[in-house]
Chain A
Amino acid sequence: MGFVTRLANPTRFLSLVATILPWLVGITAVLFAVGLYLTFFVAPADYQQGHTVKIMFAHVPAAWLAMFCYTLMSVSAIGTLVWKHPLADVSAKAAAPLGAAFTFISLATGSLWGKSMWGTWWEWDARMTSVLILFLMYLGLIALWRSIDEPAKAAKLCAVLILVGFVNIPIIKFSVEWWNTLHQPASVFRLDGPTIHTSILIPLLVMALAFTFLFTTLHLMAMRNEVFRRKIRAILIRKAHTPQTVTGTSTS
């Protein structure tokens, strides 16, 4: 907790980001190189789906990140409402467009995979519909942040909305078990262990790690931009108040 409290200082946060960003970029690039090599040259074709299974290596990590990102935003929302940590709202606001992007990737790649395997682009089943709602939640939150000028007010309102919307995350996760869906049930995170063969599971986990590092890198970049935006706003507000004093001093 002490580390998180120390990061409340924007200068300290910015210097930390400047130090770790190049490392994150490097690790992400290496992980993607290894992950894509394993995906296209090592992982075998599925006995039923053939090579179309390759779509899974982009679709599944994007879907995991779509849910992870919203969970991160919910933790940040608690940080905003309970601890009033200055970076909590910055973190949530910076994560929203990334979450929307990864949810869109998950929906688009899922649709392409569905068309080639099920013969349909879209089906209003529980998993797909709940992920679409997640995408709309992200868009709604981005719109809400942009529509309120006062950052403190926007932070509180968005934090409440994020926490209300968190109810959708377990619905997405368990929708394939609670209802009869066209979407297949979970095959990696199961109590009785993964049902995927290791020759496919390992490339999938490497790609998931690569996507997670990509998300972390983009999130820190977006947070840094948001800290700059707030600094600029603070300077402009200070300037709007100080000219009279400065002018008064110089003329008197």
Chain B
Amino acid sequence: MMLFSGHAGFIAASYGITTVLVFILIVYLCRANKQLKAQLDILDRAPSQDLHNER
């Protein structure tokens, strides 16, 4: 393919590294968000349950 003639490996490696790193960042941020939201939900629910138990 003319597009990748010459130093094809260098071009592929550059865009490969960039894509992989950005992908890792997105996955890390989304997973962290999911875990933190779940933790926050549990903590937010806990006091009302205590009050309920007290009653």
With a cutoff of 8 Å between Cβ atoms, the chain A residues found around residue B46 in the complex are 239
With a cutoff of 8 Å between Cβ atoms, the chain A residues found around residue B26 in the complex are 218
Is A174 positioned at the interface, with any CB of B under 8 Å from its CB?
no
Given that A108-B14, A225-B32, A232-B40 are known contacts, is A51 also in contact with B21, CB under 8 Å in the complex?
no
With a cutoff of 8 Å between Cβ atoms, the chain B residues found around residue A55 in the complex are 10-11, 14
On whether the beta carbons of B3 and A40 are closer than 8 Å, the reply is: yes
On whether the beta carbons of B33 and A50 are closer than 8 Å, the reply is: no
Interface size on A, residues (CB 8 A): 36
On whether the beta carbons of A218 and B29 are closer than 8 Å, the reply is: yes
With a cutoff of 8 Å between Cβ atoms, the chain A residues found around residue B10 in the complex are 52, 55, 112-113, 115-116
Contact of A218 among B13, B25, B39 (CB under 8 A): B25
Q: Beta-carbon contacts of B1-42 to A below 8 Å, as 1s and 0s?
A: 001111110110111011001100110011011001101100
**Shortest Cβ distance from residue B45 to the other chain A in the assembled complex, whole angstroms:** 11
With a cutoff of 8 Å between Cβ atoms, the chain A residues found around residue B40 in the complex are 228, 231-232, 235
A107-B11 Cα distance, complex, nearest whole Å:
14
With a cutoff of 8 Å between Cβ atoms, the chain B residues found around residue A218 in the complex are 25-26, 29
**Shortest Cβ distance from residue A56 to the other chain B in the assembled complex, whole angstroms:** 9
On whether the beta carbons of A112 and B13 are closer than 8 Å, the reply is: yes
**Shortest Cβ distance from residue B19 to the other chain A in the assembled complex, whole angstroms:** 9
On whether the beta carbons of A51 and B29 are closer than 8 Å, the reply is: no
On whether the beta carbons of B43 and A221 are closer than 8 Å, the reply is: no
Determine the main DSSP class of B at the interface with A: helix
Given that A62-B18, A218-B29, A250-B54 are known contacts, is A51 also in contact with B7, CB under 8 Å in the complex?
yes
With a cutoff of 8 Å between Cβ atoms, the chain A residues found around residue B32 in the complex are 225
Is A93 positioned at the interface, with any CB of B under 8 Å from its CB?
no
**Considering only CB atoms, which chain A residue lies closest to B33 in the complex?**
A225
Given that A218-B26, A235-B43 are known contacts, is A51 also in contact with B11, CB under 8 Å in the complex?
yes
Contact of B18 among A105, A236, A246 (CB under 8 A): A105
Contact of B7 among A116, A224, A236 (CB under 8 A): A116
A62-B18 Cα distance, complex, nearest whole Å:
9
Q: Which of A40, A59, A105, A115 has the most CB of B within 10 A?
A: A105
List chain B positions with a Cβ less than 8 A from chain A: 3-8, 10-11, 13-15, 17-18, 21-22, 25-26, 29-30, 32-33, 36-37, 39-40, 43-44, 46-47, 50, 54
Task: Provide 23 A-B residue pairs closer than 8 Å at the C-beta atoms, listed in order of the A residue.
Answer: A50-B6, A51-B5, A51-B11, A55-B11, A101-B22, A108-B14, A109-B14, A109-B17, A112-B10, A112-B13, A112-B14, A113-B14, A116-B10, A218-B26, A224-B33, A225-B36, A228-B33, A231-B40, A232-B36, A232-B39, A235-B40, A239-B47, A246-B50
List chain A positions with a Cβ less than 8 A from chain B: 40-41, 50-52, 54-55, 58-59, 62, 97-98, 101, 104-105, 108-109, 112-113, 115-116, 214, 218, 221-222, 224-225, 228-229, 231-232, 235-236, 239, 246, 250
